[in-house]
Amino acid sequence: MTEIDGASPGRRKPVDNAVRIRQRMLAVSLPVAAVLYIAAAGLNPKGTDQPILTMATALRVLPIAARHPGQLYVSGSLTILALGALAVSYGAIAALARNRGSALATAAALIGGLGAFCGAAVNVLVGVNLAAAATARMPQGTAARFLVTTFHSGFATAFLYAYFIGIVAAPVLMGIALWRSGSVPRWLAVLFTVSLEVAQQVQSKGIAVVLLYTLAFAVAMTLLAARIWQAAARPAGRDLEPALAAQL
3-state secondary structure 154-175: HHHHHHHHHHHHHHHHHHHHHH
Cβ atoms of 16 and 236 within 8 Å: the answer is yes
Instruction: Give buried/exposed letters for 148-159 (b at 16+ CB in 10 A, else e).
Output: bebbeeeebeeb
**161 CB-near residues (< 8 Å, 6+ apart):** none
Q: How confident is the model at residue 246 (pLDDT cuts 50, 70, 90)?
A: very low
- Residue (of 62, 70, 156) closest to 118 by Cα position: 156
How do residues 31-64 score in pLDDT, each as one tens digit? 999 999 999 988 888 888 888 889 999 999 999 9
Judged against a pLDDT cut of 60, whether residue 1 lies above it is answered with no
**12 CB-near residues (< 8 Å, 6+ apart):** 236
Average pLDDT over residues 9-13: 54
Full-model pTM: 0.82
Q: What percentage of the chain carries pLDDT values higher than 90?
A: 50
DSSP label at residue 237: T
CA distance 209 to 221: 19
The 3-state DSSP class for residue 136 equals: coil
Judged against a pLDDT cut of 60, whether residue 10 lies above it is answered with no
Largest CA distance in the chain: 79
Q: Point out the least confidently predicted range of 96-100, 205-209, 211-215.
A: 205-209
How do residues 131-167 score in pLDDT, each as one tens digit? 898 888 888 999 999 999 998 988 889 999 999 999 9
Burial class for 62, CB neighbours closer than 10 Å (0-12, 13-18, 19+): buried
Give the pLDDT of residue 74. Answer: 92
How do residues 66-125 score in pLDDT, each as one tens digit? 998 899 999 989 999 999 999 999 999 998 988 888 899 999 999 999 999 999 988 888
Q: How confident is the model at residue 206 (pLDDT cuts 50, 70, 90)?
A: confident
Give the pLDDT of residue 94. Answer: 93
How high does pLDDT run on average in the chain? 85
Give the pLDDT of residue 20. Answer: 79
